[in-house]
Structure 1
């Protein structure tokens, strides 16, 4: 009875008027019990849903649907998802101290990291180079056949710098491709400052490590979906 005033019938369907602080009021379809599992499956488990966490999955469902006890149902659904349990650490697990990086504008500092080796694609690629801007949090991923200094520098200049401009600083780990004479010369020619993560502690580059984990989770879930 408390929600009677927020209910509305349209085209023989029952809707609830939901007041969202960011987007304003919108209609949620009041969902019968028989449809709830399929809705949670479509908005969490399928390949395009991405196996997001409880809050993001709940917000997706709230945008279109409503039923009593929805928050608890979504929480249990995400906790019981086998793919999420395999790929994602629990609360407080897998976390390392992050290095604080203060920036005041786009391209003031970018981070670069290499993922791989991965299963070889049809094009012969086995590695992924991730480049992210600290200010905007914009990240891009580039497929590589190998991660030599020449390959990495060429991909960075032709695919990233030529499109977004020259960064003030590049932050990387201690990988040989980034510590090479060629990479140092590229930075000198383009007047780019070079900084490094803490030795044996790549998690100190928090932004790119977080992107790598998200990218790895999504890629793994896609592969698991294909196998299933």
Structure 2
């Protein structure tokens, strides 16, 4: 009788042990009601299946930063005319996530080296590794000799392949 009364009231909405204690004690009375109700509710199979025993916590994400200064360099062309410049030299540091862009009046190797030296290397220092595409400006001795002087390791990617150099594109 006790089990039937408590289970019928508890199964109305499966409220938990305290609300079930209140529901049953308002309608039924016997000696040791609260102790019996707690034991009864713990044995209900439906309550055991829905009770959360342990909350799973996902571990914090670990994002590895590059171990050294790493830069991406690219030239953007066919821009609207601005200060007599059609081209743009973009440099991105993966280490500090900083983007710098400088206007270029032309895309000759001397102009690119001068812009890289004055707008990037002079402010942020030389990166240990630099990623460029296969443009002639980046392949010339005029660009390679300052890189070797600054101890930069050049990495070349294919042009128009944004998956490799997507930080700049």
* TM-score, normalised relative to structure 1: 0.43
CA shift at 1:200, angstroms?
Answer: 5.4
Return the alpha-carbon distance in structure 2 between the equivalents of residues 178 and 150 of structure 1: 10
Return the alpha-carbon distance in structure 1 between the equivalents of residues 159 and 168 of structure 2: 16
CA RMSD of aligned residues (A): 1.9
Contact (CA 8 Å) 2:100, 2:119: kept in 1 or not? no
1:178 aligns with 2:141: no
Cα distance change on mapping 1:145 and 1:203 into 2, 3 Å:
farther
Larger Rg: 2
CA shift at 1:197, angstroms?
Answer: 1.3
Q: Which runs of 4+ in 1 moved over 3 A?
A: none
CA displacement 1:70-90 (0-9 Å, x = unmatched): xxxxxxxxxxxxxxxxxxxxx
* TM-score, normalised relative to structure 2: 0.58
Question: Where does structure 1 lack aligned partners over 5 or more consecutive residues?
Answer: 1-100, 210-228
Return the alpha-carbon distance in structure 1 between the equivalents of residues 91 and 138 of structure 2: 13
Question: Where does structure 2 lack aligned partners over 5 or more consecutive residues?
Answer: 1-63
The match for 2:97 is 137
- Count of residues in Structure 1 that have an aligned counterpart in Structure 2: 106
The match for 1:168 is 128
Return the alpha-carbon distance in structure 2 between the equivalents of residues 184 and 124 of structure 1: 27
CA displacement 1:79-120 (0-9 Å, x = unmatched): xxxxxxxxxxxxxxxxxxxxxx97224xx1100111112122
CA displacement 1:101-154 (0-9 Å, x = unmatched): 97224xx11001111121222x21101111000122110111111111111111
| Match among 106, 112, 116 for residue 146 of structure 1 | 106
Which structure 2 residues correspond to residues 1-228 of structure 1 after superposition, within 5 A? 103-105=66-68, 108-121=69-82, 123-198=83-158, 201-209=161-169
